[in-house]
Amino acid sequence: MLKTSELRTKDVVNVTDGRRLGFVGDLELDLEHGHIKSVVVLGSSHLLGLFGRERSTVINWDQIRKIGQDVILVELQPSSNAEN
């Protein structure tokens, strides 16, 4: 079993281009069916958070390829990387 707090400490990496996307900041849940719909990777902050953040990336659960000990591997196409 995996705790949500453990998800937040793992790097999220896109296997399509090898780019590090960041860390999981939030989950979208389907309460009616009792499963996770997607994870939200927060955009990196600018200058200690004083000037906002980049756009967050929403990753559907079916785009997650592997959850490892230190990393979450996802498969995103270039056009779907930045959703907010």
Q: Can you give the residue ranges of every domain in the chain?
A: 4-80
Looking at residue 72, what is its pLDDT? 96
Looking at residue 7, what is its pLDDT? 86
> Is the CATH code 3.40.50.620 the one for domain 4-80?
no
Mean pLDDT by 10 residues, the chain (84 residues): 85 93 92 94 63 78 95 84 46
Looking at residue 56, what is its pLDDT? 86
Strand-strand pairing, 11-14 and 20-30: antiparallel
In whole angstroms, what is the distance from residue 49 CA to residue 42 CA? Answer: 12
